[in-house]
Structures are given as structure tokens and as C-alpha cells.
Chains A and B, each alone.
Chain A
Amino acid sequence: MKLLVFILYTASAYAATNATVAPIPVPSSPYLPRIYRYVDILLENPTQTTKLHHYQNLLRLLYTLSELSSKPKYRDAADVALHSWLQQVPAPDAQIARPWMLWNRCFEIAPEASSRFALAVLENKITNHPGFYLRTLSAAYAHTTNEVFLRATETLLKPYERSESAPTLSFTIDCDGCARLLPEGLAARLRSLARRGDDAAARDDPAAIMFVSRYQNTGNVAHRDAVQALANAELNSSPDNLSALRLGHAISLQLAAWRSDARHDHLKKARAFGDFALTKFFDGTPELVPGIDTLALSLVELHLHILYITAVRCPPNTIDR
């Protein structure tokens, strides 16, 4: 024992002049190379690339891959898909599944087409997904300052403000996000709606990923506790029956919990989910299947977390709502 103490002491004293601590190996992360392979093959396949605009998280991922790799081909493919998307305005009875989060890029590369699209959405009054509608109107206002979008936003909000029911957590996210794009009067009304939505969130049964979004934008400890509780509940769960979408959410939820409480269990579980995902969804011929974009995004998020890369920021995996 005395010998051990002596050795440790000597090592410490010596270390004051020399780096004597053995380096720790870089953790392995197989995820990003597999995503590159998947995307590279996918982009070579015209039957797949014509569908890209239906996979919004893949488009967001493509922009991220260009940042990570400095290769413009990913961004270029996403831009082509955005142009395609802007040509097809959803019909009034279209079933929209997600808000559209790529408006900034749309207005950047195709301002006129984006404005036309937003006006057509306004005309069609696509309200099965109020968040989609609100995001479109507020982004269009932010980029054009056309007051027609403000008036439409006011009209959209009134029934929610009159209603005794609080907005869903999904719409709450959109209200709070869009408030940052609009003039203060309207922004305050949106924030007020968002507060009602937050207060009522416990009564809903929202997807865990929505709590992640709210927590990351508010710091509200109730949302943090929800994220951690939901992540803890999945620590011992099996991924066997999870769809690509649910698996992507499960990975991103564990990563959100890891960021929040620094418990290594969460990062470990995210890796376990990620390893399973590679085997089940990325071993065969790359193709676009429902939810694969969300899963791919979560795997890149996982890679960045494992290697502590922050110069490139991964888009939040919270738009499936």
C-alpha cells in the first residue's frame, strides 16, 4: 500500500512537468459513415430522389451533411427538392403531418415561389394542421412583410383564444416559435396561447419529443421532468417492435435526457438503440420508408453527441407532431 502511495505521489510530482496521464481512446461512432453511405446511394437513385421533398427531416439532414463534409452535393440535392415541394401546394383537404420548418431556406433560394406557395396555402385554408398553417403564414410575413399574412394569423388565432380548451402541445410549440417572427402585439397573443398550452400539457398524451422541444425553448422544469421520466421509462425497453420513426424519437429522447442530467445511462441507451437501428434499417438497399428521415437525423445527432461535435449543429428532431 505504501508503495502504491509512493508511486502515485511520484507520478503526480513528475506530472507537473510532463504529461504522464495515458490518453483515453476516442470513442467509436459507426453512425455517420453509415448515414453517408445511405444518403450517397439514395442520391444516385432517381426513383428515390423525386420523393425527397416528402421526407423533410432528410432534407434538414442533407444541409447538415454539407456542413459536416463541406461537400455541396447534399445541400444541392435538398435545394432541388425544395423547388419541387414549392410547386405542389397542398389541397384544402390535404392531410398534413408536420409543420414545415424549412421556410428560411425556401425564401432564400426561391423567394417568389415561396410567397406564391404561402398565398396559396392561405387561399386553401389548410387547417387540419394549424401549426403548418401558422408556420407558413408567419414565415411568409417575416420574409415579405405582407400584412395579409398578419390578418390571416389573427383570424387563425381567434377561435383558439376564445376556446376554453388549451392548445395542443404541438400547436403550443408552433405558437411560441412563430411569436419570434411576428410584431409584438401578435407575438404576445401567441405567447399567451403557448403558456396555456404548457400549463395543460400534462393533461394531454403528447409524444415525448414535444416535451423535448418545449424544454429546450423554455427551460421549464416541468418539461424537463417529463423528458427525464419518459427517457427513464425507456431505459429498459426493447427496440424490437419500434418503427423507424419511433426509434428515431427514442434515440433523440435519450440524447435530450443525457444533455439534461449528464447520466451516462442515457447516452448508452441511445447507442444501443442506434446500433439496433443500423442493423434493422440501414443494412439493406437504401430506400425511403416512412420515418427513415427522422431515424437518420437521430443517428447523426447521436454521432455528434458521442464525439462532442458542436461546430455543426444538428437540427432538433422534434417536428413529427
Chain B
Amino acid sequence: MLLLLFIAACSASGASLTNDFLQTVRRYADTMIEHARDTYGPQKSGLLLSALDRGTLSPLTVRPAAPGGIRRGDRPGRPWTAMNGANPHLDQNLLRILYTLTEITADGRYAKVADEELTWFFQNTMSPTTSLLPWGEHLSWDVMLDIPISGGDEMMHEYARPWVLWDRCFALVPAASAKFALGVWEHQIANHKTGGFDRHAPYFEHGPVDGKDFARHAGFYIGTWCYAWKCTTNQVFLEAIETLLARFERKRRQKDGSEVATIGPLECHLAAEMVPDPLASRLLAFARKEDELIVPDLRKQLDGRVVAPPLWQSGYSAGTLASSAMFCWARYQQTSNHVYADLITRYADRYTQSRPEEDVDVWPMSFGHVISTQVAAYRLTDKAGYLEEAQRFARMAVDVFWQDNPLPRASMQTGHYETITGADSLALALLEVHAAVHGLTNHVPSNTIDR
């Protein structure tokens, strides 16, 4: 009897803690829906603002202090003035959370808001000349002025990370989605023979250049075109994928004959599941080779043979060790390759009992990745210790970032809300913990897109 009472007490205690995580995320979503949708300017778009004043739960009247490591031109607002941009690329995990909340709570309001955001954004903000969207690394939609804006001096389209909501986009706005995908091919890729491109392309007018073709962006484009092919069967998208694949098959080999990783395996594998052979086989072979080239470097980091990323401090183009774990988790989910499973548990172990270093302006994203790493290790090993660590980090993150407010703040040293530092990724991690503790069968999206 005593044992039963003890178990009941423990369960009750555990339930209250984990319910808090769902409550935290739900309150975040509810507050965004109530206070952070665009009801300003001539067009009441309903878009979610990507930054907000946490004190007033209203749009910022200033450009607040920047979280550590965030560049001026990447923030959702015009330079030197109030920050009032909506950037679905930065809010992508929040949109995924809204869909997930509808699944978990059966409240359709959340998914409806996400659908409305995607629909309005694709139908109303696209450049009529380039078909590119004002989102990503530098652009956003100013909800006060109702115009596309840049955080910097130029209106440059650049992906901030992969866009993983294509299935939903093609279901809601098929024509606009296909148009954007075609716009990426026609206005982002400068040379259709060699696949030469620059990660920056003008939004307003045609003007792609063959410049800094960061390989990861090729992955983002391939991850767009494969859905476009699936939904339209327009051959141009196969041609686009093949062109970039061929480019990086060539660029993989260095002048000294050695080989380096380029695009990474994730989007190539994803695309291979949608396109026909022989392209599919080529993509899969490419992805497997990327694995061969990437895994030794990851091992070297964990073994201390090369300088590893920091545990907690993020910055522009500089992730933490846990963000590497998130790559491994994404790849493991594609392949079930035990090599990646081993790496994930090693990453998780590195964070055991860890706390952020002194005076580091930690981002919520860093906590989110650490938490998701622990949950991934738990799912791989079934060891309760990982889930306990995930809960410990989650409690710490709620205390540090949410404090006494329904919205999380942008970083440990700032006080406003701004998703560029991954508040949405942290919230997604909290949902993962909630699902793991309660054994939910609902699908919680993987926290693996911040790359």
C-alpha cells in the first residue's frame, strides 16, 4: 500500500512538472495568437510578429539591444528603427508547434492560425518579378508599413535554414508554392548550366550572381524543388536538382585530390525519396558519401582532436555542440545508422550536469538543442537518466527565458521577444519532453532544422 502511495506521489509530482511544459508552450502560443498577430497598417495580415515587447505584449517601438552574436542586418526590422517584421522563416518552429498543439490538444485554433499565416504570406508578399519571398536571413514583412523590408541595406533573398513546411504550403497555396520554387531556380541560380549561384539574390528584380555558393544553401534549394516536383511533376525541378547535384559532385573533390563534405546528406536523401531514378540513386549515393566525409570530423570533435564547438554560446554561423547532435539525430531518423546513434549519446553525455558558462549570452535555441539531444538519447537507449537531464534543462530554460512572462525572451542578457535566437526551437524541445514523459503517440516534429 505504501509503495502504491509512493508511486502515486511520484507520478503526481512528475505529471505536474511535465504538464508545466505543455502549459508553458500553450501559453506562449495563446499569447502570440492574442497579442502578436498583425492587426496594424492598412492590411491586417494576421502574420505573427517575429519580435515583440514582452513588457507590453505589443509591437516594439524601438530596435532593442541585440542578443549576443546576432548581426544587425539579420533582425526582423528596418535598420536603426522600431523592429516590426514578420518572418515566417524565423518563426518556422513556432508554426510547427501550432500544428502540433492542435494534434495534442484537439484545439483547431492553433493550426488555423498557422494555415492563415502561410496562406497570406505566400499570396501577398511574393515579388511579382522574381517570385521570391521577403523572408529568411535578411528580409521580412513590415506589419506597420505593409511592405517587404530588409534588416540591412539591400533587399537580398537568402534562406535562413531549410523550409520544411512544403507539404502544407502546397496543400494550402499550390500555385504560389510552385511559383516560389521556380523563382529560386530562375532568380537565385545564376548559371543554369554549371549551377553557379550566390546565397544572396535580389528580391525586387532579376540579378542572381555566380558568387558565394554556400553548399548548405544548395541543400535548401534541393529541399524545395523536390516537393515542387512531387506536387507539380514539372520537369524543370528535376533539372534544377540535377544541376546543383552535379555542381557539388564536382566541387567535392579538391585540387589536391582530397574530398570534402559539401551539401550534407539530409536534403539529398529527402529528395531521393521523391524523385525518380536515376536521379534518386545519385542523390542517395551522394548522401552516403557525405556521411563518410562528415562522421570522422564529428568524432574528432568529440575526441578532442580538433577544437569542438562551444557547449552553450551560439553566434552567427556558429552553433553549439548540441546543434551537431541535432544534425546526427536528423540523419539517424533518415537512415537508422548506428554510427549516428552512438554520436548522439556521446553528445548527450557531454552535457551531463552542464550549465552555461559564466556571462555567456545564451540563446534559447542552445537550450532547445541540448534538451532535444537528451530526449534523442533517451529514445535511442531507453535510459531514464537522459530524460531526467532533459527535464532538468527544460526547467532551467523555463526559469531563465520565460521568467514571469508568457513569452520567452531573446537571450539571457536581453529582455524582449525575438525568434531569431530560437525561442520557437526551445518551445519545440519542451513539447518533445512533454511527449516523452507522457508517452504520447502524437507526432512532435524533430528539432533539427536550425542548420
Q: Decide if A and B are genuine partners.
A: yes
| Distance between B395 CB and nearest chain A CB, rounded to angstroms | 12
Query: Are A259 and B415 in contact (CB-based, < 8 A)?
Result: yes
**Which residues in B have their C-beta under 8 angstroms from that of A9?**
42
Query: Are B400 and A24 in contact (CB-based, < 8 A)?
Result: no
Query: Are A16 and B148 in contact (CB-based, < 8 A)?
Result: yes
A305 at the interface (CB under 8 A from B): yes
* Closest chain B residue, CB of each to CB of A266: B65
A280 at the interface (CB under 8 A from B): no
| Distance between A144 CB and nearest chain B CB, rounded to angstroms | 17
Q: A15-B147, A260-B414, A262-B53 are in contact. Are A316 and B64 (CB under 8 A)?
A: no
**Which residues in A have their C-beta under 8 angstroms from that of B196?**
none
**Which residues in A have their C-beta under 8 angstroms from that of B79?**
23-24, 26
Query: In this complex, which of B60, B399, B401 has the most chain A Cβ atoms within 10 angstroms of its Cβ?
Result: B399
In angstroms, Cα B70 to Cα A15, docked, is: 27
Q: A15-B145, A221-B404 are in contact. Are A8 and B53 (CB under 8 A)?
A: no
Q: Main SS of the interface on chain B?
A: loop
B80 at the interface (CB under 8 A from A): yes
In angstroms, Cα B63 to Cα A307, docked, is: 11
**Which residues in B have their C-beta under 8 angstroms from that of A310?**
66-71, 315
Q: A12-B145, A316-B359 are in contact. Are A219 and B401 (CB under 8 A)?
A: yes
Query: Are B148 and A259 in contact (CB-based, < 8 A)?
Result: no
**Which residues in B have their C-beta under 8 angstroms from that of A12?**
41-43, 145-147
Query: Are B55 and A18 in contact (CB-based, < 8 A)?
Result: no
What 0/1 pattern do residues 85 to 128 of B give for CB contact below 8 A with A?
A: 00000000000000000000000000000000000000001011
What number of A-B contacts does a CB cutoff of 8 Å give?
Answer: 111
What 0/1 pattern do residues 50 to 74 of B give for CB contact below 8 A with A?
A: 0001010000111111111111100
Query: Are A16 and B415 in contact (CB-based, < 8 A)?
Result: no
**Which residues in B have their C-beta under 8 angstroms from that of A179?**
355
What 0/1 pattern do residues 1 to 31 of A give for CB contact below 8 A with B?
A: 0000000110010011111110111110000
List residues 283-313 of chain A with CB under 8 A from any CB of chain B: 305, 307-311, 313
| Distance between B53 CB and nearest chain A CB, rounded to angstroms | 6
B191 at the interface (CB under 8 A from A): no
Task: Select one of B78, B145, B315 contacting A24, CB under 8 A.
Answer: B78
- 21 pairs of residues in contact across A and B, judged by CB atoms under 8 Å: A15-B145, A15-B147, A18-B204, A19-B155, A21-B147, A23-B153, A24-B78, A180-B358, A213-B359, A216-B361, A217-B412, A218-B400, A259-B65, A259-B413, A259-B414, A259-B415, A262-B53, A308-B72, A311-B315, A313-B69, A316-B359
